[in-house]
């Protein structure tokens, strides 16, 4: 049986933009020449795209780091480099994308073909044609390409099913699924036979069908991780109707009514909205000797607990083993599915789609421009998203580029902050791996 990978942690590094070119015109009949270096091409984006043919995140288990393609460097004659080809990573329907560090939900991918911009490629560096001015008509300065975004994401897959089978281990859920659908789950006479959600398509008459998922057996404390716990409670979130399967034979010595209360308590503890879904109580194993009396007692306790006039769930008697009562169960379930809307995990306005029809990350340049800390008596370290980005986009092979970078630091207030912290002439200042002397 194939392993169902429920979550996957991936690292994405979008493509770096191509470097801008430094070039000059040297034609024989153009005596004054001029700058002729073109811009670099943009780095490749990394998208997640929904593929309805997938039902697992298994591919990401063995391939966790994905790197985007770099843009082409700028060329002479003012020619721009080609933009890099984007990368599209296929994910199943029902994949939720979270920031691995903060836990923030970034996207909820449900529909086939839906895309999410997971990491944006860097823009191409500007060639020296872009820096020509009246005072400096022949600049020897160009930018390196902008680094692509880097993100660590957590992918979570929730089974997309209309109906979820819930109940204690070994109450007959897998057997029921096997006789009402095309699913062939592994079935054994011991607890936790089902280690992964099994999915099957159920056909009820002409043109009526629904998808049902056999959820692994729950036990008390599942919402806190006991048993198979939260790993599979999350799969129930997407279902529209719950079939609560109960072993009325009580062959294991358990009380069917207490089992019913315990499972509902676990659903409520995990997420209050789970109990908003309509339930059908499936009284299974009615072919066993004690089941009839146990069902009578179950109904009495149900009325005593909630009241005779309460809106109690429908109870349908079946035997998954002998297939008695299945037609009535399927018709009732199909009717509930038909009249029950989808339960959304998140509000629609939580994700604002851009004009380009994909979700995106906020621009990281908006964060703190730089940071300063003292490493030792005479060494200072500069950091920060914007500062490091400017550093990576500076071509230190050309003096004009170095001077331009120095002016950018000064305009950001770096010099002033170093003086305020006590930096003196000759102190070492380091940015990433680049070191220079501070001059007051």
pLDDT by residue (tens digit) across 60-86? 878 999 999 999 999 988 899 999 999
pLDDT at 308: 77
> Contact 162/210 with Cβ under 8 angstroms?
yes
- Compute the average pLDDT of residues 25-39: 77
Confidence of residue 384 (pLDDT cuts 50, 70, 90): confident
209 contacts: CB under 8 Å, gap ≥ 6:
201, 202, 203, 334
Does 26 have pLDDT greater than 80?
no
- Compute the average pLDDT of residues 379-400: 86
Greater confidence (100 vs 211) lies with 100
pLDDT at 350: 44
pLDDT at 298: 96
Token pair in block for residue 299: 């109904």
Confidence of residue 398 (pLDDT cuts 50, 70, 90): confident
Q: Point out which residues pair with 116 in neighbouring strands.
A: 48
> Contact 76/36 with Cβ under 8 angstroms?
yes
| Cα-based distances in Å from 427 to 20, 60, 419, 424 | 32, 47, 11, 6
pLDDT in tens, 219-255: 444 334 443 444 455 556 668 899 999 999 998 888 9
Greater confidence (39 vs 385) lies with 39
Average pLDDT in the chain: 81
Angstrom distance (rounded) from CA 439 to CA 81: 38
Indicate the range of 19-33, 152-166, 325-339 predicted with least confidence: 19-33
Does 24 have pLDDT greater than 50?
yes
The sign of the dihedral angle between the CA atoms of 219, 223, 224, 229 is positive
Token pair in block for residue 176: 């029921």
pLDDT at 347: 47
pLDDT at 408: 86
Q: Point out which residues pair with 381 in neighbouring strands.
A: 373, 430
244 contacts: CB under 8 Å, gap ≥ 6:
166, 167, 260, 263, 264, 279, 280, 281, 282, 313
CB-side exposure of 371: number of CA atoms within 13 Å?
9
Angstrom distance (rounded) from CA 331 to CA 43: 54
pLDDT at 56: 74
Angstrom distance (rounded) from CA 172 to CA 286: 11
Indicate the range of 245-249, 360-364, 388-392 predicted with least confidence: 360-364
Does 277 have pLDDT greater than 60?
yes
Does 125 have pLDDT greater than 50?
yes
Confidence of residue 167 (pLDDT cuts 50, 70, 90): confident
> Contact 105/97 with Cβ under 8 angstroms?
yes
CB atoms inside a 10 Å sphere around CB 39: 28
Token pair in block for residue 364: 């990281």
pLDDT at 55: 72
Report the candidate in 121, 130, 12 with the shortest Cα–Cα distance to residue 70: 121
Indicate the range of 30-39, 60-69, 244-253, 321-330 predicted with least confidence: 30-39
118 contacts: CB under 8 Å, gap ≥ 6:
12, 46, 47, 48, 89, 97, 151, 153
pLDDT at 358: 34
| Cα-based distances in Å from 23 to 55, 82, 141, 391, 423 | 52, 18, 10, 22, 38
pLDDT in tens, 110-120: 889 999 999 99
pLDDT at 25: 84
Per 3-state DSSP, what percentage of the chain is helix, strand, and coil (rounded to 5)? Answer: 25, 25, 50
pLDDT at 206: 65
Does 432 have pLDDT greater than 80?
yes
Angstrom distance (rounded) from CA 342 to CA 353: 21
Angstrom distance (rounded) from CA 139 to CA 155: 47
Among 88-97, 168-177, 230-239, the range with the most confident prediction by mean pLDDT is: 88-97
Angstrom distance (rounded) from CA 153 to CA 141: 37
Does 362 have pLDDT greater than 50?
no
- Compute the average pLDDT of residues 212-224: 56
> Contact 52/93 with Cβ under 8 angstroms?
yes
Diameter of the chain by CA atoms? 106
Angstrom distance (rounded) from CA 207 to CA 261: 36
Does 368 have pLDDT greater than 80?
no
């Amino acid at each position: 049986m194939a392993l169902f990978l429920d979550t996957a942690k991936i690292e994405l590094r979008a493509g770096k933009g191509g470097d801008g070119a430094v070039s000059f015109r040297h034609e024989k009949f153009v005596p004054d020449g001029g700058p002729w270096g073109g811009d670099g091409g943009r780095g490749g984006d990394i998208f997640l795209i929904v593929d309805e043919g997938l039902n697992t995140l298994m591919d990401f288990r063995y391939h966790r780091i994905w790197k985007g393609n770099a843009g082409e460097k700028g060329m002479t004659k003012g020619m721009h480099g080609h933009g890099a080809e984007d990368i599209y990573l296929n994910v199943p329907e029902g994949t939720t994308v979270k920031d691995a560090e903060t836990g923030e939900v970034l996207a909820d991918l449900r529909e086939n073909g839906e895309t999410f911009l997971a990491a944006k490629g860097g823009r191409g560096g500007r060639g020296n044609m872009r820096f020509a001015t009246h005072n400096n008509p022949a600049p020897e300065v160009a930018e390196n390409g902008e680094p692509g975004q880097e993100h660590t994401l957590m992918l979570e897959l929730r089974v997309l099913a209309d109906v979820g089978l819930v109940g204690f281990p070994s109450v007959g859920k897998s057997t029921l699924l096997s006789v009402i659908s095309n699913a062939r789950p592994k079935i054994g006479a011991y607890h936790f036979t089902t280690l992964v959600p099994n999915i099957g398509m159920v056909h009820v008459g002409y043109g009526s069908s629904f998808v049902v998922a056999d959820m692994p057996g729950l036990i008390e404390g599942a919402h806190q991780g006991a048993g198979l716990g939260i790993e599979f409670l999350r799969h129930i979130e997407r279902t529209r109707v719950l079939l609560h399967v109960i072993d009325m034979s009580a062959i294991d010595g358990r009380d069917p009514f207490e089992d019913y209360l315990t499972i509902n308590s676990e659903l409520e503890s995990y997420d209050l909205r789970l109990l908003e879904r309509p339930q059908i109580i499936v009284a299974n194993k009615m072919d066993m000797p004690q089941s009839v009396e146990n069902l009578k007692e179950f109904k009495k306790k149900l009325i005593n607990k909630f009241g005779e006039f309460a809106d109690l769930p429908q109870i349908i008697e079946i035997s998954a083993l002998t297939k008695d009562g299945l037609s009535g169960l399927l018709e009732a379930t199909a009717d509930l599915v038909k009249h029950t809307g989808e339960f959304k995990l998140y509000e629609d306005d939580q994700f604002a789609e851009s004009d380009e029809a994909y979700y995106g990350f906020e621009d990281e340049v908006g964060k703190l421009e730089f940071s300063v800390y003292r490493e030792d008596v005479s060494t200072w370290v500069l950091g920060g998203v914007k500062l490091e980005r400017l550093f990576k986009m500076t071509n230190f092979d050309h003096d004009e580029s170095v001077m331009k970078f120095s002016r950018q630091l000064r305009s950001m207030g770096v010099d002033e902050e170093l003086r305020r912290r006590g930096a003196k002439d000759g102190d070492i200042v380091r940015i990433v791996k680049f070191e220079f002397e501070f001059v007051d």
